[in-house]
Structures are given as C-alpha cells and as structure tokens.
Chains A and B, each alone.
Chain A
Amino acid sequence: MGAFWKNLARLIAAPVILLALSLPALTADHSIKSAYRLTFTSIAVTKGDFAEKYDLAIKPITFPTGIEINEALLTGSVDVGEVGIAPLATLLTRTSDVVAVGVTDIGGGRYKTVVRKESPYKSMDDLLGKKVAIKVGSGNYAAFLTYIKSRGWKESDFQIVNAGDQEAIAALTEGSVDGVIYWEPIVSTLIAKGIARPIFSFKGVVNNPTFLVMPRKFVENERETAIRFIAAYMDTQELLSTDVPAAAKLVVKGMSASGQKVDPKVIELAIPSVDYKIEMGSQVIADEKATWQLLKDTGKLRGDEPDWSVAFDGSLIEAAKKLRGE
C-alpha cells in the first residue's frame, strides 16, 4: 500500500516538475520555435547561451534537412529555419508567405564529397555510375547540379540515393553507398569516425549562401522576437568566425546529442571552410535567382518566377545590429 501511494505521488509530481522546469522558457519575454538541424550555425545557436542575453527562449524542433523545414515554414509550425539556396527557390515558387531575413553562412566549402577510406576513388570522375548519397532538392544538390553541368555530365550518370543527414552517415558507414555528397558537419563526422576521406570540395564551384527564413506573419506579428533571434544569431556567427575551438566544442556537444561522437580537431578544421556573414547583398540575391533558374531549367520546379522584391527583408538585420550596440 505504501508503494502505491508513493507511486501515485510521483505520478502527480511528474507533470508539476516538468511544468516548473519549462517555466523559464514560458516566462522568457520572447520565445521562438526554431527548426534545428545539423549545421555549425544551427547547433551553435541552440547549444550556446547566446539567446539568454536577449531574454529569448529558443525552442528547437529537429529536422534532417531544409526540405522538411520548408513544409514546417509553410504551415507555420516553426518560426525560423535554415534553408539552403535550392529549397528556398522551391519554397518561393509555391508561396509568398515566407521571407528570407538573413544569411547563415556563405561558400561552397561546406559541401564535400567523401568516399570510404579504403575505396579506390580519387575524384568525382571515379564516382560516375556509382551510388552516391545526396539530399535531392537541397542547396548541396544545387551545387552538385552546377558542378556536373560544368563537366557536361547528367544527373543520371550517377546512381543518386536520396538521403537525410543521419541516413547519409549510416549509408556510408554500412557501405551501402560508394560516396556521400553532403554539408558540414556531416562529412567531417564521417571523416572523424575514420570511415571516410574527402575527395572533392565544392569551394570555388559555387558560392552558395544558406538563408534564415521566417513566415511573413511571424515577422509582422512578432518583429521584436525576430530581431532578438537575429542578434543572437549574429553573436553565434561571431564566435564561429573568431573563436573556432570554442565553437567546435558546441558543435561536438550538438553532434553527440544526436548520437555522433566526433573529434573536436576535425570540426576545428572544418568550421573555417565558409564565411559566417548575415548580410544579404546583391550577389547573394543574384545567386538565389540563378539557382531558381537552374532548377527551373532542369524541370524540377513548376510555377512562375517568384516576386523577388518581397522575398528578402534586410531590415531585421539593421535592427539587430542596433540591439547588439553596433
């Protein structure tokens, strides 16, 4: 009987304690539902304490890639997400209810091709006709399309295996694919585990930005929260640019929470492969337009050209800069 009452008490106490634990998040003046995925920026902003400074609570919801984040942004089930250059083109083709508010990072260096360590492949040419894991529709995929176009190859010259982040890691680990074309820190994780070696980097091939995207309604209704998030994000970018070892520690923490043990040394080498700059300059917007045209030309997209004039909103960045005291 005693055990029964004790258990009953525990049963009642559990939700109360849970509620209490979640109180800081609820009581923070501003909270934002953020799409969490395995990128340096997303991990660092979520696992670090950048948001606290702005009295902001980040509620992370995990997604494998930007493709899935697109759907969450469309339905308004997240307030912000990191979306690559290609998924943004897709999203803007279907809706004008979202807006790009900043750039997470820029540069083709975050995309690499890795193969199994013991395999004979040395270049992209060796992978022709082989099984390659890639996320179809991602910014990475757009980089891949750009590259094979420049080489005069077709998509069907490879056996494309459409894979999410964890699937791509598992596929190469198990040896069910010959190569993985992915972004950081997925590729570095495979290298750090001693499974893979890199054979190709998309640095110089493309200079693709990845975007911070929000539902237009969120920007209109909770502008203050949006600005605070961007301010915290800029702090994160600063850390990634200036204190690589500290940033790497956060990334390792994030990766291990996803079940991937990584050597910080490998991450430290990978972090500087791109530039962490929030600005959406004219070149960034031109890149986005070019990617839209590329996907349209390859028959992947249906629908009219987006209204580019409302697709980007740099005003939040300016407000965030003020908040940061610049």
Chain B
Amino acid sequence: MSEIQIHRAGEARSPSAEFAAGFGHKALGGLRFISPILIVLALWEFSSRAGLVNAVLLPPPSAIFRNMGRLFQSDTGFWNSPLVGHIEVSLMRLLAGYGMAAVLCTALGLLMGINRRVYAFFDPIVTVIMPIPSLAWVPIVILWLGMSNATIIFVVFLTAMFPIIYNSAAGVRSISKKHLWAAELMGASRQKIFFKVLLPGAMPYVITGHILAVSLAWRALVGAEMLAGAGLGLGYMIFDARTFMDTETVYAGIMVIAVLGLLIEKGVFRPLQRFTIERWGTVRAG
C-alpha cells in the first residue's frame, strides 16, 4: 500500500478552507435572515402610523425602540437601567434552573441509556410527565415554594429536564453494538468505554437535548415570571406594563426576549454544535 491512492480526496477539506467558505456563507445567511424582519417592521411602522391598526395595541416600532432606549437608561448609567436589571434577573433564573437540569439530568439520562433497569424504571415516568405544559406546574410550584425566585427556577428546571433526560438516554442507545465491541476488543475497560465511546458517541443527541431544553426553558421562564415574577424579570416587566397599558414596554420586552433567545442559541449552542457534531459528521449541518 506504498503507492497512495486518494479516493475522492476532494471531500476532505482543510479546516481553513471550511472556515473561509463558512464566513461568506454566514454574511449572506445573515442578510437573508434579517431582510424579511426589516420588511415586516417597515410594514408595521406604516400601518401603525397610518392608523390602519390601533396604535395603543400595536404601537409603531420606532416608538418601541425609543422606549427601549429609555428603559436602557438610568441616572447611574446603562448597567443600572431597569431593563438591564430585568434581563439580569431573568438570565440568572435561566442559568440556575437550566444549570441544575444540565448537571442532574444529563447524568440520569446517560445512566438510563447504559442501564436497562434504570431505563425501565424512569422511562414510564418521563413519558407520562413530559407532555405536561410547563406552565401548568406554576400554581402547584407556587404552593410548594411560594411566590419566589425558587418557584421560577424550579419551573425552568422542570422544563429543561425532560428534553435533556430523553435525548441523553437516546444518545447512548443510538451507539451501535459494534462500536462497543470494537472498543472492548481493543482492551477498553467499562470506565474507558464510558468516557471514550459512550460519552462522545451520545454527544450529538445530548447537545440537541440541551438546545431544546434551553429554548423551552426560556419560554417557560418568561411565562412563569408573568405568574410568579414577584417584581423582577422580563416576564414580570411585560406583565406589569400590560397592567398599565404600557404597550411600548410590552413590545420592547418581547423584542428583548426574542433577541436574547436567538443570541443564546446562535451564540452558545451553534458554535458548540459546529465544533462537535458537525465536525464529526454525525449530524448534517443545518
């Protein structure tokens, strides 16, 4: 085999070429993503100003952005502004609830994937509880934990746990018997099989589960804050603004929620996906 035969060598691209191609693609993709949004905003501005829609119910985007600017200001600077305060509280709640789920539920999910008895015990529980909309938990959780941060964090945790458990277990179960055999034959102990085969092999599913968990948790967080926000958080801000018919603040809050959700997905999970499962070719690049 000294004479080297390169089969379809074109398929093996160098990382730098991949990066360059990705960059141009990204710029174009960004434009494609943003232009429909700009068109909708322009139409909206026009309809609101022309009086085609009730300007109290649907204030023009310019008024919303102006109001957002106001909410980002305070006598002591941007970082002490009311909106930054609400964002901070919401993100901390998300981080706490999702963080707990990430640690506990990834572990449980992987264990379910590995151990048939653990799977048999938890699978029916997960299957029954998973379809319950997370906001349905809020009244019950308020009973347990009161109108507090703990309630919201727990609802976020509840929302995040199921996609993580389900996908982590599915990830382990997706690994073929032959991969495990191959590793065993090469002298891998059970511990080595876990860290060198099961964990990386389950990674595509685990990452998918976490992306799903965070996006669902983000929605549940805002909903839970509306019901049990106790004065702070983006959801509470929206709820409170609605009480006083401050629709500009309601829409500003909705926009901030959308942008933050997008940033979390595109800024945190997309790179993670790119550096793992897309590189490994275990999932096609979306």
Known: A136-B240, A176-B142. A70 touches B54 (CB 8 A): no
- Give 8 closest A-B pairs by Cβ, nearest first: A137-B243, A94-B245, A161-B147, A94-B56, A90-B244, A90-B245, A300-B244, A136-B243
* Bound Cα distance from A111 to B56, whole angstroms: 30
Cβ < 8 Å to B, chain A residues 93-143? 93-95, 131, 136-137
Contacts of A75 in B (CB 8 A): 54, 57
Min CB distance B38 to A, Å, is: 27
**Contact between chains at A174 and B143 (CB < 8 Å):** yes
Min CB distance A28 to B, Å, is: 30
Min CB distance A133 to B, Å, is: 9
Q: Give A166-205 as 1s and 0s: 1 = Cβ < 8 Å from B's Cβ atoms.
A: 0000110010110000000000000000000000000000
Given contacts A70-B245, A95-B56, A156-B231, 7 further A-B pairs with CB under 8 A are A74-B54, A131-B147, A137-B243, A161-B147, A170-B139, A176-B147, A301-B244
Which residues from chain A sit less than 8 Å from chain B, CB to CB?
Answer: 67, 70-71, 74-75, 90-91, 93-95, 131, 136-137, 156, 159-162, 170-171, 174, 176-177, 295, 300-302
Contacts of B245 in A (CB 8 A): 70-71, 74, 90-91, 93-94
Which residues from chain B sit less than 8 Å from chain A, CB to CB?
Answer: 54, 56-57, 139, 142-143, 146-147, 230-231, 239-240, 243-249
Residue of B146, B230, B239, B243 most packed against chain A (CB within 10 A)? B243
A-B contact pairs, 21 of them (CB 8 A): A67-B243, A74-B57, A74-B245, A75-B54, A75-B57, A93-B245, A136-B243, A137-B243, A156-B231, A160-B230, A161-B147, A161-B230, A162-B239, A162-B240, A162-B243, A171-B142, A176-B147, A300-B244, A301-B244, A302-B248, A302-B249
Min CB distance B60 to A, Å, is: 15
Contacts of B139 in A (CB 8 A): 170
Contacts of B56 in A (CB 8 A): 74, 94-95
Min CB distance A259 to B, Å, is: 16
Q: Which residue of A lies closest to B82 (CB)?
A: A299
* Bound Cα distance from A116 to B56, whole angstroms: 41
Min CB distance A293 to B, Å, is: 15
Contacts of A71 in B (CB 8 A): 245
Min CB distance A218 to B, Å, is: 16
**Contact between chains at B57 and A137 (CB < 8 Å):** no
